Structure 1
């Protein structure tokens, strides 16, 4: 890693306290439980929005496209505000940072109960995204703080990542039972209840105080504003682009261009500041760039689980209640992966765990690429469980590598890395889902064109199928011409669904190829490192007897 030039921030460092000793097990356990509760509350809050877009549209009387804007309103502050939390934590202290953050989250959860229209929903979702921004950081702090340095890496990281990754899938497990016939009211009440429990836990278990100083400057607000604009442009494009289609709305391209310009300007401003919000030189160092690219690639291929399987099954007519068992298995597999990390994750083993994760994703995606029109959630249990385990085999080791790099730079960089990690992963998930949906839409159009070309009126098989379907509709529609029109519409609908299945198979197979290619590249990297170590000259011996004999 390159060494960043010294800045004025180095001459006026943020206050750093000595690492606090680990708490005894009996005292540490409540903190770990509180961190898990905060992580689950944050994950469920995000999952309730992404999972229930059709129900939200129905409740508010809006289209699904309008409801998709709620995801943009939630994700933008969720991804853009974490960098500012670094200085907020330093100026106001960890305890006040935790208490204010959880109070705001509980108040927003209370406001969500009273949503009545699209505008109020947009405002509440934006506030909810802003309020949830500190929660992932709080989950890390509560789980890692009471542990010794050794257990922070091998025990704390797998636990906190398991809680954070399991939240969105858990939302799909509980949403059908909560919605029932009563709409989203019980969903909002559940989020409120979790927020209140988290509030009680944070006030009952205060974090250890650390030295703090006045570090927030007016220029920080300028940088955060530009980052907010940049993230808003990216999130809007990748959420709405696949829905409205990229080339059908010129403003999508302008949004992306504006996002790039805003982020570039923010980086220029940060590079020229004496006390920057983010150390851009450190973040742009080869080691951190490599880690960021690796995490981003993994977020892309993990979209196979978050944006692939559930949407394909919904296209095939599966309701949320029919997918409950599938996502319950995913949640269980996530914690199984955490247990595997507890057993095998150690510094220096990151590459081998990543290789295992990529191999599992390749196997799971290859299994999914053979889906058919008759595929049901039960046929995807094994493949999706493998991908969920792979997620846990990848994320904690990658997080450990980043934290060790930050620790080598200085204690102040640890929380900075956590916040940047949370921010980039939030935005990476949106980009991954947008890319996956775009691939599916392109391939669906191609396959539907191919299938439609084969549906000709001269085809005897098609004529026979239309006759059979028309006969089955005789009891409902006595008019023969109307029955033929309905039969033709049913066949066209089936062709569209079949085209979607083939498109998802193509996207799954592309995921398989990407995972396989990444695994091959990692194997070559390990082989090169082993070859270099084998050919390197042996270090001169420091044994006095050996020196005398020579």
Structure 2
């Protein structure tokens, strides 16, 4: 006797408080307090797992350069290829989640993450490391949204803004954390020590996600053949643009003609993808929404503030490394940045309101101005302990502005529990 097949795309009957906010997102049933705490812990763990992979590499580029015997322009490709594939694959992740469901999304990508991290242990030269890092960027792209979904389950509907704040800003803790302990990991077995730790973290996250599953959501067939035309135009275009932005500060244009050719080709591919998408009824990229005033303002805010925040990782940390200091000599500075980010997340959770999302951004900018003025007095005798206050303020501002800036443009529908 053959049982009738269940249609996975059949619409479900939800209680008003359970209905998913968006197609592809989990439902929000009532949970007991211990289960909510578990969801919150797992969400933060998954978020940090995805972010720490790139953070430990970024924080230890100088050590990895010596290990692989590479030039600075060669080792810079490690974080670059990660970002190139990470951004590109995000184009498909939304529709993948909507069509194939949360279980395939969460467990499938975490299993791939574990496998890719495992293969890091067998890397012997820079070329193989680049290939594995590229794969790592693709599978890690899913973990940031997964962390947000777990945080949403951890909070009742009236506190959903707090859940989104923690989910959005939690990954910013990865860089200071990586600077705190990655040196000890390198002493275990050089760069393999970093990946042993990352593999262990990924396995713990996989076990937690399997043990504590997300509630189901609605599914629908959303993929179209034209989506892949857009992907094969936009993905290489964004990847080339990321390569130019990552390596352009190290390679001079006249000495590396590929930078100019890559930038020109990336613009052609991106414009072609946008033109192709603009008139589609079910687009992969909603160009009209992306060109709306709120999204344009969000893009400008994020771009300008990220330029300001580059003073922390590229400016202060990069300069201290240039004068010969290692991560173990900047422990106090890393702790001050970490404390600033934690305080920023907590303050944002306590003060965020859907009707007053502008003032945290203005406050963050004011703190960044003060921090930059403090650092402007630095000279070749300045040491990490003299920068702790300014970097605390920058860490606080970076965490305090992020969630309000994102929610001001795109979070209204998600944040409203109705």
Q: Same fold (TM over 0.5)?
A: yes
2:356 is equivalent to residue 349 of structure 1: yes
Q: Between 97-106 and 42-51, report the one with greater CA deviation.
A: 42-51
Query: How do 1:94-493 residues align onto structure 2 when only pairs under 5 Å count?
Result: 94-153=102-161, 155-180=162-187, 182-407=189-414
Q: Map Cα deviations across residues 141-170 of structure 1 (whole Å, 9 max, x no partner).
A: 1111342332110x2123223421111221
Give every structure 1 segment of 4 or more consecutive aligned residues whose post-TM-superposition deviation is greater than 6 Å: 13-17, 408-411
C-alpha contact 2:98 2:220 (8 A) present in aligned 1: yes
Cα drift, residue 102 of structure 1: 0.6
2:91 corresponding residue in structure 1: 83
**Which one scores higher on RCO, CA 8 angstroms, separation ≥ 6?**
2
C-alpha contact 2:48 2:173 (8 A) present in aligned 1: yes
Structure 1 or 2, whichever has the larger Rg, is 1
Cα drift, residue 214 of structure 1: 2.2
Q: 1:357 & 1:318 partners in 2: Cα distance? A: 29
Q: 2:265 & 2:30 partners in 1: Cα distance? A: 47
Q: Map Cα deviations across residues 59-112 of structure 1 (whole Å, 9 max, x no partner).
A: 222222111111221111111111211110011101211110111111111111
Q: 1:93 & 1:372 partners in 2: Cα distance? A: 54
**Among 46, 52, 62, which residue is 1:54 paired with?**
62
1:445 corresponding residue in structure 2: none
Q: 1:353 & 1:97 partners in 2: Cα distance? A: 33
Q: Map Cα deviations across residues 252-297 of structure 1 (whole Å, 9 max, x no partner).
A: 1111111111111111111122211121111111122112221221
SS of residue paired to 1:246:
coil
Q: 1:151 & 1:244 partners in 2: Cα distance? A: 47
2:100 is equivalent to residue 92 of structure 1: yes
Q: Map Cα deviations across residues 23-70 of structure 1 (whole Å, 9 max, x no partner).
A: 232211111111100111112101112112222222222222111111
C-alpha contact 1:361 1:390 (8 A) present in aligned 2: yes
Q: Map Cα deviations across residues 99-137 of structure 1 (whole Å, 9 max, x no partner).
A: 101111111111111110112111100000001010101
C-alpha contact 1:40 1:166 (8 A) present in aligned 2: yes
Q: 1:51 & 1:405 partners in 2: Cα distance? A: 35
- Give the length in aligned residue pairs: 398
Cα drift, residue 406 of structure 1: 4.7
C-alpha contact 1:47 1:168 (8 A) present in aligned 2: yes
Cα drift, residue 408 of structure 1: 9.6
**Among 62, 71, 74, which residue is 1:63 paired with?**
71
Are residues 197 and 408 of structure 1, via their aligned partners in 2, closer, same or farther at CA, if it must alter by over 3 Å?
Answer: closer
Q: Map Cα deviations across residues 5-32 of structure 1 (whole Å, 9 max, x no partner).
A: xxxxxxxx99696242342322111111
SS of residue paired to 1:81:
helix
Are residues 50 and 410 of structure 1, via their aligned partners in 2, closer, same or farther at CA, if it must alter by over 3 Å?
Answer: same
C-alpha contact 1:161 1:392 (8 A) present in aligned 2: no
Are residues 325 and 188 of structure 1, via their aligned partners in 2, closer, same or farther at CA, if it must alter by over 3 Å?
Answer: same
Are residues 261 and 405 of structure 1, via their aligned partners in 2, closer, same or farther at CA, if it must alter by over 3 Å?
Answer: farther
Q: Map Cα deviations across residues 174-207 of structure 1 (whole Å, 9 max, x no partner).
A: 1112112631121110010111011111111111
Are residues 327 and 409 of structure 1, via their aligned partners in 2, closer, same or farther at CA, if it must alter by over 3 Å?
Answer: closer
SS of residue paired to 2:214:
coil
C-alpha contact 2:274 2:287 (8 A) present in aligned 1: yes
Cα drift, residue 326 of structure 1: 0.8
Q: 1:150 & 1:292 partners in 2: Cα distance? A: 28
C-alpha contact 1:144 1:152 (8 A) present in aligned 2: yes
Q: Map Cα deviations across residues 440-467 of structure 1 (whole Å, 9 max, x no partner).
A: xxxxxxxxxxxxxxxxxxxxxxxxxxxx
Q: 1:209 & 1:282 partners in 2: Cα distance? A: 27
Structure number having the greater helix percentage:
1
